[in-house]
Amino acid sequence: MKNSSASEDFVAYAAHELRSPLTIIRGFAEVLHDHANLSPEMVHDISEKILRTSLRLEKIVKGLLVLADNDFVSEPIKLSVLVENCRNMALQLHPEAEITIQSEAINISGDADLLELAVGNLLENGIKYSPKPAKICVSVSREGTKINIAVKDEGIGIAKEHLAQIFDRFYAVNKVHSRRLGGAGLGLSLVNAIIKKHGGSVSVSSECGKGSIFTIELPSID
Ligand code: ADP
Protein backbone atom coordinates (compact mmCIF):
# COMPACT_ATOMS: atom_id res chain seq x y z
CA MET A 1 0.00 0.00 0.00
CA LYS A 2 1.33 3.47 -0.80
CA ASN A 3 1.95 5.84 2.08
CA SER A 4 -0.81 8.40 2.08
CA SER A 5 -0.52 11.95 3.35
CA ALA A 6 -2.64 13.23 6.24
CA SER A 7 -4.84 15.19 3.83
CA GLU A 8 -5.39 12.17 1.58
CA ASP A 9 -6.37 10.21 4.70
CA PHE A 10 -8.80 12.89 5.67
CA VAL A 11 -10.45 12.87 2.25
CA ALA A 12 -10.77 9.09 2.52
CA TYR A 13 -12.30 9.37 5.99
CA ALA A 14 -14.77 11.95 4.77
CA ALA A 15 -15.86 9.89 1.76
CA HIS A 16 -16.34 6.82 3.99
CA GLU A 17 -18.51 8.62 6.52
CA LEU A 18 -20.60 10.59 4.04
CA ARG A 19 -21.49 7.63 1.87
CA SER A 20 -24.30 5.99 3.88
CA PRO A 21 -26.40 9.10 4.66
CA LEU A 22 -26.00 10.25 1.05
CA THR A 23 -27.27 6.86 -0.14
CA ILE A 24 -30.35 7.23 2.06
CA ILE A 25 -31.08 10.80 0.91
CA ARG A 26 -30.60 9.88 -2.72
CA GLY A 27 -32.86 6.81 -2.40
CA PHE A 28 -35.72 8.77 -0.84
CA ALA A 29 -35.27 11.72 -3.21
CA GLU A 30 -35.53 9.29 -6.14
CA VAL A 31 -38.79 7.89 -4.75
CA LEU A 32 -40.21 11.43 -4.52
CA HIS A 33 -38.99 12.26 -8.02
CA ASP A 34 -40.10 9.06 -9.78
CA HIS A 35 -43.54 8.55 -8.20
CA ALA A 36 -46.01 11.30 -8.97
CA ASN A 37 -48.96 9.64 -7.20
CA LEU A 38 -47.66 9.35 -3.65
CA SER A 39 -50.20 10.09 -0.92
CA PRO A 40 -49.63 13.27 1.12
CA GLU A 41 -48.82 11.00 4.12
CA MET A 42 -46.09 9.23 2.17
CA VAL A 43 -44.64 12.50 0.91
CA HIS A 44 -44.60 13.76 4.50
CA ASP A 45 -42.97 10.55 5.74
CA ILE A 46 -40.30 10.52 3.04
CA SER A 47 -39.46 14.21 3.32
CA GLU A 48 -39.13 13.80 7.08
CA LYS A 49 -36.62 10.99 6.53
CA ILE A 50 -34.68 13.16 4.08
CA LEU A 51 -34.66 15.99 6.60
CA ARG A 52 -33.52 13.75 9.48
CA THR A 53 -30.77 12.20 7.40
CA SER A 54 -29.60 15.65 6.23
CA LEU A 55 -29.27 16.62 9.89
CA ARG A 56 -27.15 13.50 10.46
CA LEU A 57 -25.03 14.45 7.45
CA GLU A 58 -24.51 17.86 8.99
CA LYS A 59 -23.36 16.23 12.25
CA ILE A 60 -20.92 13.98 10.42
CA VAL A 61 -19.45 16.91 8.51
CA LYS A 62 -19.01 18.73 11.80
CA GLY A 63 -17.34 15.65 13.33
CA LEU A 64 -14.96 15.34 10.39
CA LEU A 65 -14.07 19.03 10.54
CA VAL A 66 -13.42 18.73 14.25
CA LEU A 67 -11.15 15.75 13.62
CA ALA A 68 -9.27 17.60 10.88
CA ASP A 69 -8.94 20.68 13.05
CA ASN A 70 -7.85 18.82 16.14
CA ASP A 71 -10.58 20.81 17.80
CA PHE A 72 -12.72 19.28 20.52
CA VAL A 73 -15.93 20.28 22.26
CA SER A 74 -16.45 19.17 25.85
CA GLU A 75 -20.08 19.07 26.87
CA PRO A 76 -22.17 16.98 29.29
CA ILE A 77 -23.53 13.86 27.57
CA LYS A 78 -26.23 11.45 28.73
CA LEU A 79 -24.96 8.14 27.37
CA SER A 80 -28.41 6.52 27.32
CA VAL A 81 -29.60 9.25 24.93
CA LEU A 82 -26.46 8.99 22.82
CA VAL A 83 -26.77 5.22 22.27
CA GLU A 84 -30.51 5.57 21.56
CA ASN A 85 -29.69 8.15 18.84
CA CYS A 86 -27.14 5.73 17.34
CA ARG A 87 -29.72 2.93 17.38
CA ASN A 88 -32.28 5.11 15.56
CA MET A 89 -29.75 6.08 12.92
CA ALA A 90 -28.66 2.48 12.34
CA LEU A 91 -32.30 1.38 12.03
CA GLN A 92 -32.88 3.91 9.25
CA LEU A 93 -30.29 2.14 7.14
CA HIS A 94 -31.01 -1.41 8.41
CA PRO A 95 -34.64 -1.52 9.58
CA GLU A 96 -34.54 -5.31 9.99
CA ALA A 97 -31.75 -5.23 12.59
CA GLU A 98 -32.61 -6.19 16.16
CA ILE A 99 -30.79 -3.75 18.42
CA THR A 100 -31.22 -3.93 22.17
CA ILE A 101 -29.81 -1.39 24.61
CA GLN A 102 -28.87 -1.94 28.24
CA SER A 103 -27.87 1.37 29.69
CA GLU A 104 -27.13 2.55 33.19
CA ALA A 105 -27.85 6.25 33.82
CA ILE A 106 -24.37 7.60 33.17
CA ASN A 107 -23.26 11.09 32.19
CA ILE A 108 -19.88 11.85 30.76
CA SER A 109 -18.12 14.85 29.38
CA GLY A 110 -17.10 14.89 25.72
CA ASP A 111 -18.02 15.72 22.16
CA ALA A 112 -21.45 14.19 21.55
CA ASP A 113 -21.25 14.37 17.73
CA LEU A 114 -17.88 12.64 17.67
CA LEU A 115 -18.89 9.96 20.17
CA GLU A 116 -22.10 9.34 18.19
CA LEU A 117 -19.96 8.86 15.10
CA ALA A 118 -17.78 6.33 16.97
CA VAL A 119 -20.59 4.27 18.54
CA GLY A 120 -22.58 4.50 15.28
CA ASN A 121 -19.62 3.03 13.36
CA LEU A 122 -19.36 0.06 15.75
CA LEU A 123 -23.10 -0.51 15.50
CA GLU A 124 -23.05 -0.40 11.70
CA ASN A 125 -20.12 -2.82 11.58
CA GLY A 126 -21.96 -5.21 13.90
CA ILE A 127 -24.89 -5.17 11.49
CA LYS A 128 -22.75 -5.31 8.32
CA TYR A 129 -20.81 -8.34 9.49
CA SER A 130 -23.81 -10.35 10.72
CA PRO A 131 -26.29 -12.52 8.85
CA LYS A 132 -29.70 -10.80 8.55
CA PRO A 133 -31.44 -9.94 10.78
CA ALA A 134 -28.45 -8.84 12.82
CA LYS A 135 -28.81 -9.14 16.58
CA ILE A 136 -26.86 -6.44 18.35
CA CYS A 137 -26.69 -5.50 22.00
CA VAL A 138 -25.28 -2.15 23.09
CA SER A 139 -24.54 -1.83 26.79
CA VAL A 140 -23.40 1.13 28.84
CA SER A 141 -21.98 0.39 32.28
CA ARG A 142 -19.64 1.69 34.94
CA GLU A 143 -16.64 -0.31 36.09
CA GLY A 144 -14.76 1.44 38.88
CA THR A 145 -13.50 4.75 37.49
CA LYS A 146 -14.16 3.71 33.89
CA ILE A 147 -17.24 3.82 31.68
CA ASN A 148 -17.71 1.00 29.19
CA ILE A 149 -19.78 1.14 26.03
CA ALA A 150 -19.88 -2.36 24.54
CA VAL A 151 -21.32 -3.27 21.14
CA LYS A 152 -21.89 -7.01 20.85
CA ASP A 153 -22.92 -8.85 17.71
CA GLU A 154 -23.58 -12.48 16.81
CA GLY A 155 -22.01 -12.18 13.39
CA ILE A 156 -19.14 -13.69 11.43
CA GLY A 157 -16.48 -12.84 14.02
CA ILE A 158 -12.82 -12.04 13.34
CA ALA A 159 -9.98 -14.57 13.25
CA LYS A 160 -7.23 -14.09 15.89
CA GLU A 161 -4.52 -13.28 13.34
CA HIS A 162 -6.45 -10.20 12.15
CA LEU A 163 -7.41 -8.75 15.52
CA ALA A 164 -4.24 -6.69 15.99
CA GLN A 165 -4.62 -4.94 12.62
CA ILE A 166 -8.31 -4.14 12.30
CA PHE A 167 -7.87 -0.68 13.86
CA ASP A 168 -5.26 0.23 11.22
CA ARG A 169 -6.27 2.53 8.40
CA PHE A 170 -7.42 0.72 5.23
CA TYR A 171 -7.24 -2.71 6.90
CA ALA A 172 -10.06 -5.07 5.95
CA VAL A 173 -10.08 -8.81 6.70
CA ASN A 174 -11.73 -9.50 3.37
CA LYS A 175 -11.33 -6.50 1.05
CA VAL A 176 -13.86 -7.72 -1.52
CA HIS A 177 -16.54 -8.47 1.09
CA SER A 178 -15.85 -5.19 2.87
CA ARG A 179 -16.06 -3.11 -0.32
CA ARG A 180 -19.27 -4.84 -1.35
CA LEU A 181 -20.73 -3.64 1.97
CA GLY A 182 -19.57 -0.10 1.25
CA GLY A 183 -16.52 -0.22 3.54
CA ALA A 184 -12.99 1.00 2.98
CA GLY A 185 -11.25 -0.20 6.13
CA LEU A 186 -11.52 3.23 7.71
CA GLY A 187 -14.37 3.02 10.20
CA LEU A 188 -12.43 1.48 13.08
CA SER A 189 -9.44 3.79 12.69
CA LEU A 190 -11.86 6.71 12.92
CA VAL A 191 -13.43 5.16 16.06
CA ASN A 192 -9.95 4.75 17.53
CA ALA A 193 -8.99 8.37 16.79
CA ILE A 194 -12.21 9.72 18.35
CA ILE A 195 -11.90 7.63 21.52
CA LYS A 196 -8.22 8.55 21.96
CA LYS A 197 -9.24 12.22 21.84
CA HIS A 198 -11.52 11.47 24.81
CA GLY A 199 -8.70 9.88 26.80
CA GLY A 200 -10.13 6.40 26.32
CA SER A 201 -9.41 3.22 24.39
CA VAL A 202 -11.20 0.67 22.20
CA SER A 203 -10.69 -3.08 22.38
CA VAL A 204 -12.19 -6.12 20.73
CA SER A 205 -12.78 -9.72 21.61
CA SER A 206 -14.08 -12.00 18.91
CA GLU A 207 -14.59 -15.58 17.90
CA CYS A 208 -15.01 -16.75 14.31
CA GLY A 209 -18.58 -17.78 13.57
CA LYS A 210 -19.82 -16.63 16.98
CA GLY A 211 -19.53 -12.85 16.95
CA SER A 212 -17.58 -9.90 18.30
CA ILE A 213 -17.67 -7.45 21.17
CA PHE A 214 -16.13 -4.02 20.69
CA THR A 215 -15.67 -2.14 23.96
CA ILE A 216 -15.05 1.58 24.27
CA GLU A 217 -13.54 2.47 27.64
CA LEU A 218 -13.82 6.11 28.72
CA PRO A 219 -12.73 7.91 31.88
CA SER A 220 -15.67 8.74 34.17
CA ILE A 221 -16.27 12.38 35.20
CA ASP A 222 -16.87 11.73 38.91
P1 ADP B 1 -14.77 -1.44 6.89
O2 ADP B 1 -15.14 -0.13 6.31
O3 ADP B 1 -14.04 -2.35 5.96
O4 ADP B 1 -15.88 -2.12 7.60
P5 ADP B 1 -13.52 -0.97 9.49
O6 ADP B 1 -12.29 -0.18 9.79
O7 ADP B 1 -14.80 -0.51 10.10
O8 ADP B 1 -13.62 -1.04 7.92
O9 ADP B 1 -13.25 -2.45 9.92
C10 ADP B 1 -12.03 -3.10 9.55
C11 ADP B 1 -12.27 -4.58 9.32
O12 ADP B 1 -12.57 -5.21 10.58
C13 ADP B 1 -13.49 -4.87 8.45
O14 ADP B 1 -13.13 -4.88 7.09
C15 ADP B 1 -13.92 -6.25 8.92
O16 ADP B 1 -13.17 -7.24 8.27
C17 ADP B 1 -13.52 -6.25 10.39
N18 ADP B 1 -14.66 -5.97 11.29
C19 ADP B 1 -14.99 -4.78 11.87
N20 ADP B 1 -16.06 -4.91 12.66
C21 ADP B 1 -16.43 -6.21 12.59
C22 ADP B 1 -17.46 -6.98 13.19
N23 ADP B 1 -18.34 -6.43 14.06
N24 ADP B 1 -17.54 -8.30 12.88
C25 ADP B 1 -16.64 -8.87 12.04
N26 ADP B 1 -15.65 -8.20 11.43
C27 ADP B 1 -15.54 -6.89 11.69
Instruction: Look at residue 65 and tell me whether its pLDDT is greater than 80.
Output: no
Minimal-distance CA residue to ligand 1 atom 16: 173
User: CA nearest 80: which of 125, 145, 141, 135?
Assistant: 141
Q: Give yes or no for residue 91 having a pLDDT over 80.
A: yes
The answer to whether residues 209 and 157 touch, using CB atoms and an 8 Å cutoff, is yes
**Does the pLDDT value for residue 85 go beyond 60?**
yes
pLDDT of residue 1: 43
What pLDDT digit, counting tens, does each position of 151-179 carry?
999 999 999 998 988 888 667 777 666 66
Whether 113 has a pLDDT exceeding 90, the answer reads: no
Among protein residues, the one with the nearest Cα to ligand 1's atom 2 is 183
* Average pLDDT for the chain: 87
Q: Tell me the best of 135, 152, 158 to mutate to test the pocket of ligand 1, counting ligand atoms within 8 Å of each CB and taking the most.
A: 158
Least confident of 23-27, 67-71, 115-119, 199-203: 67-71
Ligand 1 site residues (CB inside 6 A) read 125-126, 129, 153, 155-158, 166, 171-174, 178, 183-189, 212
> In the predicted model, what is the mean pLDDT of residues 204-219?
96
CA-proximal residue: ligand 1, atom 7 (nearest): 187
> pLDDT tens digits, residue range 20-37?
889 999 999 999 999 989
Residue 101 has pLDDT above 80, yes or no: yes
Atom nearest to 189 CA in ligand 1:
6
Q: Does the pLDDT at position 184 exceed 70? A: no
Q: Is 97 exposed, middle or buried (0-12, 13-18, 19+ CB in 10 A)?
A: buried
Its pTM stands at: 0.80
Distance 174 CA to ligand 1 centre (A): 9
Residue 19: its H or E element = helix 6-34
Residue with CA nearest ligand 1 atom 23: 126
Smallest CA separation from ligand 1 atom 4, residue: 183
DSSP calls for 107-123: EEEE-HHHHHHHHHHHH
CA 143 to centroid of chain Cα atoms: 23
Q: What is the mean pLDDT of residues 91-103?
A: 94
**Of ligand 1's atoms, which has the minimum distance to the CA of residue 126?**
23
Assign 192 to helix, strand or coil: helix
Distance from residue 172's CA to the centre of ligand 1 (Å) = 6
β-strands 135-143, 146-153: how paired?
Answer: antiparallel
Ligand 1 atom showing the smallest separation from residue 151 Cα: 23
What is the number of the ligand 1 atom nearest to the C-alpha of 167?
6
Q: 136, 178, 181, 204: which to mutate for ligand 1, most atoms within 8 A of CB?
A: 178
Percent of the residues in the chain that have a pLDDT greater than 70, as a whole number: 88
